[in-house]
A and B are shown apart, each in its own frame.
Chain A
Amino acid sequence: MTSRPSPGLTLAAWLGAAFLHIPLLLIILYAFTSEDRTYTFPPPGLTLRWFGVAFARTDMWDALWLSVRVACLATLLALLLGSLAAAAMSRSHFRGKDAFSLLITLPIALPGIVTGIALLTTIKRVGLEPGTLTIILGHATFCIVTVYNNVVARLRRISPSQIEASSDLGARPLQTFRYVLLPHLATALLAGGLLSFALSFDEVIVTTFTAGSQQTLPIWMFGELFKPRDRPVTNVVAILVMLVTLLPILLTQRLSSGGDYMHGGGKSS
């Protein structure tokens, strides 16, 4: 479209952006407040004290470390399964193709609580102990679609003639994969992987069901929301969480500035 945004539209967009961002700025402000009992606004004074208190909390570091490990492993699994699914879908037609694509979408289309309780039922039935392994299994389930969406979109844009040319020139399938397909897919895989990392790192609803007594960072934060030991510490950790999830996203944005990054990155819980 060539038309320019009207003043009214511009104003509405800016108001919308303010609505989206002011709460985040407040979080940052409250991490420095010297008032630790209430949410008084404006804060009576500012201090750096809470950063020290937060960094000294070993339970916070344990939770952060668990979240990082879980997110890495869930992302690896999702990368494998998601790209296999994408490769299968990009091949010629097979019966049940529509049903399969619905099946991939289902874990993000259904509310997290359904996925969570369903997985918990199975975990109990099979006799597994809820813990790190089951958190990873749960996260991988809904991360598959993120990788899948990114890779499938990329595969659609690769012309089959390139693959054919490669094999016509005598490349074995593995060579074609290594030298033609993989370079094309690299940024899509990276984007899908980073999104899945952020998704897993932030997930709380499915995790509450599959975690047993383990605490990922969001679970830890959830606990702090109701029984805070030092209220402003939650804000400090909130900033930390924002940084950990935002950096990969901004990186993804840079990597694929074609505007087609983040396919179906949507879903939080």
Chain B
Amino acid sequence: MSVPVTVSRHRFGRGALITLLLLAPPLLWLGVVYLGSLLGLLQYGFYSIDDFTAQVVQQFTWATFASLFSTPSNLDVIIRTLLMSVAVTLACAVIAFPIARYVALLRGRSKAVWVVLVTLPLWASYLVRVYAWRLILAQEGVLSWVLAKLHLTSLLDAALSLPVLGGPSLSSSYLGMFLVFVYVWLPYMILPIQAALERVPASLVQASADLGARPFQTFWRVIFPLSLPGVAAGSIFTFSLTLGDYIIPGVVGAPGYFIGQMVYTQQGTAGNLPLAAAFSVVPIVIVMLYLALARRLGAFDAL
């Protein structure tokens, strides 16, 4: 990778040299180790697997990528994962918004407390939080107990009998998986929205009220549009994290595979590295498109 360094003030002067020296180690690391690995992975996507010997055939072919879309079960995996990612992102945005707005309105000590309240779960270990939901969703677990106490068991049964979302129990249904995803990524959505809301000038809100807008109008026409960069920033996390996760669909949920699980099994037990590579290119492409879109919405200023 070439390093084109031109410093505006003194071309090829000491400044450029220093910038180059500073830049070289991280650039080498990320450019060679990380980007190199990604490209190496991409290369595998263009290989195929010999059906008889189960060996990787190192010969260029589009067949592996094509099989993502031509094999219905592979396409199902992609669509299922995408739909879940979109649903989780939307739900996170809806739940995060009031919390973010509330924290943004607070001042002083209570604000500090709430910031900790919101960030704490984020750092209480991902696996621990997923595991907690195993306790909650289990058939004899907390949620069934609470619903039984509230005489709402029939509501749970109704939800579980829904065609695609339901299943034998919450811990083995898409509904349960959805709940866990929303829970685990929620703080990633709250923090950027809160940051964006804090940058909404108070004068704008006042002006809107002075001009006779009712609170809801002010919210919808002023506050909400200005919070969109935050929503976009948060959605990068919720979307991308759901897209690649293989642990939550493994611990909680219905039998249908997700992209992450597919990548994991194909490179591991199935020993089909080319297909695993092809599958992992799907989230790369989607995230890249998403980043480009989010950049337009100003998400990077809200990160």
Which residues of A pack against B, CB within 8 Å? 1-6, 9-10, 12-13, 16-17, 19-21, 23-24, 26-27, 30, 38-42, 80-82, 84-85, 87-88, 91-96, 100, 102-104, 106-107, 109-115, 117-122, 125, 137, 140-141, 144, 149, 198, 202, 204-205, 208, 218, 221-222, 225, 234, 238, 241-242, 245-246, 249-250, 253, 257, 259, 262-269
Contacts and interface: CB of A to CB of B under 8 A. Distances in A.
A22 B173 CA distance: 21
5 contacts: A16-B95, A26-B135, A41-B142, A111-B245, A115-B34
A259 B115 contact: yes
Q: Which of A20, A120, A249, A264 has the most CB of B within 10 A?
A: A20
Contact of B123 (A12, A13, A109, A249): A249
B250 to A, nearest CB: 8
Contacts of B132: 23-24, 26-27, 238
B49 to A, nearest CB: 15
Nearest to A16: B99
Contact of A269 (B26, B98, B183, B245): B245
Contact of A118 (B38, B112, B142): B38
A241 B41 CA distance: 33
Interface string B227-268: 000000000110011011111000100000001100110010
Given A104-B30, A144-B26, A234-B131, A5 B7 contact: no
A257 B123 CA distance: 18
Contacts of A249: 119-120, 123
A39 B141 contact: yes
Interface in B8-67: 8-9, 15-16, 18-19, 22-23, 25-27, 29-31, 33-38, 40-41, 44
A242 B128 CA distance: 8
Interface stretch (B70-78, B150-158, B160-168, B277-285): B277-285
B26 A81 contact: yes
Interface of B: 3-9, 15-16, 18-19, 22-23, 25-27, 29-31, 33-38, 40-41, 44, 95-96, 98-99, 101-106, 112, 114-129, 131-136, 138, 140-142, 144-145, 183-184, 186-188, 190-192, 197, 200, 202, 205-206, 215, 236-237, 240-241, 243-247, 251, 259-260, 263-264, 267, 273, 276-277, 280, 283-284, 287, 291, 303
A242 B124 contact: yes
Lowest 5 A-B CB distances belong to which pairs? A111-B244, A13-B102, A12-B98, A23-B132, A118-B37
A6 B98 CA distance: 11
Given A13-B99, A121-B37, A268 B236 contact: no
A75 to B, nearest CB: 15
Contacts of B15: 91-92
A3 B37 CA distance: 51
Contact of B98 (A9, A40, A121): A9
Contacts of B99: 12-13, 16-17
A23 B122 CA distance: 12
A23 B133 contact: yes
Given A1-B205, A113-B264, A122-B36, 10 more contacts: A3-B105, A27-B128, A82-B26, A85-B26, A140-B29, A218-B125, A221-B128, A245-B124, A246-B124, A253-B119
Nearest to B29: A81
B122 A266 contact: yes
B25 A269 contact: no
Contacts of A263: 303
A28 to B, nearest CB: 10
A73 to B, nearest CB: 14
Given A111-B260, A253-B116, A103 B35 contact: yes
Contact of B30 (A80, A103, A221): A103
Contacts of B7: 91-94
A238 B128 contact: yes
A117 B267 contact: yes
A117 B263 contact: yes
Given A104-B30, A245-B125, A110 B105 contact: no
A114 B284 CA distance: 8
Contacts of A85: 22-23, 26-27
A103 B291 CA distance: 12
A238 B119 CA distance: 17
A192 B18 CA distance: 24
Nearest to A125: B40
Nearest to A1: B202
Contacts of A26: 132, 135-136, 142
A27 B36 contact: no
Contacts of B202: 1-2
B280 A117 contact: yes
A62 B303 CA distance: 37
Contact of B129 (A1, A3, A23, A265): A23
